[in-house]
Structure 1
Amino acid sequence: FKDVDKAYQAAMAKLSTPKLTRAMIDAVAHQQPKRVAKGRPKLRYAHQGGMNPPIVIIHGSALHGITDSYKRYLEGRFREIFELRGTPLRIEFRTAANPYVKDEKPRRK
């Protein structure tokens, strides 16, 4: 029953935003995401989005270019640092809309 209790504790773990962000920054410093087109995806900060299973939400820019292998790499790093064994871990990426991009309106002919 020890393993069941450990899995339940991992599923219900509360992960603080500063610790998640530090872990994410360390992971990026160790291995950066691959470049996409002109730039590289930038990961700004991470926070917990839910429990059972734990959800980590990462905010940044150009996140559409994050590969599945890099997502698995981040998942492995979070599992290792926060000892999340025996429970699924979901990672979601969120990109904020750029307020300086103007909406294109149809031109009159």
Structure 2
Amino acid sequence: MPAPGEPGGRAADARDAPPGAGRGDLVHNRVAMLRAERRISRREFAEAIGVHYQTVGYLERGEFNPSLHLALRIARFFEVPLEFVFSLDEFPRIGPQGG
């Protein structure tokens, strides 16, 4: 039986997170930035990587950590290395710094 978020499986979402997977297990990502740069809607992106569009929202808000398989599909979609999209450390903010 395919795992959630994988081809042939149902779309992964925040309910698929293992018990105890809280903010301490957060994987930071640049999905929203990459998607916005390429002017791709959540629905278009979700369809391309094989998940429900709400899963993309959960992912972008940091409410869902993708499986390794899904993370690799996302990096392939954007044609960038995996570590450019995902990190255990927060990415530096881009743009004007409020002060």
TM-score by length of 2: 0.35
Structure with the higher helix share, 1 or 2? 2
Which has the greater radius of gyration?
1
